[in-house]
Amino acid sequence: MRGSWMLPLILLVGGCSCERRPDAETVPAGTDVQVVATPAVDSQATPAAVAAPAPGPASSVSDAVSTVHAYLAAVAAKDWPKADAYWSGGKPPPRPDDFSVRGVEDLQSMRINNESPTPLDRDSPPQSVEIPVTIRVRKQTGVYEIRGWYRLRRKIAGDGWEITSASMQPSMG
């Protein structure tokens, strides 16, 4: 369900106290890249509930969304070892399914909007999800959107999520 109320989560990649993942690294000093993430949240959720999700299935799915946001922050920072580690097996396919995102040159800012994850299995909590994503990219030459999805599965050890595939394409409209 897509909430009509969105809580913006701003990740200033230059080092912000609001980063959601404790292991997220920052962009080197002097880089003006800004990543702004706006996850879809339940219209009944309070800011405190979004900042500190309750344990259980909802938390598991929100961790998957956090993984996508942390991955995209690493891509924006061009930190390829860190970005690649989010993929299953520790590396993306030879030509990444999200090349339109990874190949952006001259990036000034990236705004990430995601819809609610869709479970890809019948487990509770789900072991794999698909997260629809729209990325608004600002470059010196203008602003454009990249749309698609990321599919993630729970790591075998159960200690997080990994990206298994993606389909991200520049938007024509």
Residue 141 backbone dihedrals phi, psi, to 5 degrees = -85, 0
d(CA 60, CA 64): 7
d(CA 116, CA 38): 11
Identity of the amino acid at 92? P
Q: Name the E strands within the chain.
A: 9-11, 34-39, 107-114, 118-119, 128-139, 142-154, 161-170
- pTM beyond 0.75: the answer is no
Question: Mind listing the pLDDT tens digit for each residue in 14-39?
Answer: 333 333 333 333 333 333 344 554 44
Question: Mind listing the pLDDT tens digit for each residue in 55-108?
Answer: 455 557 899 999 999 999 999 999 999 999 999 988 888 777 899 999 998 899
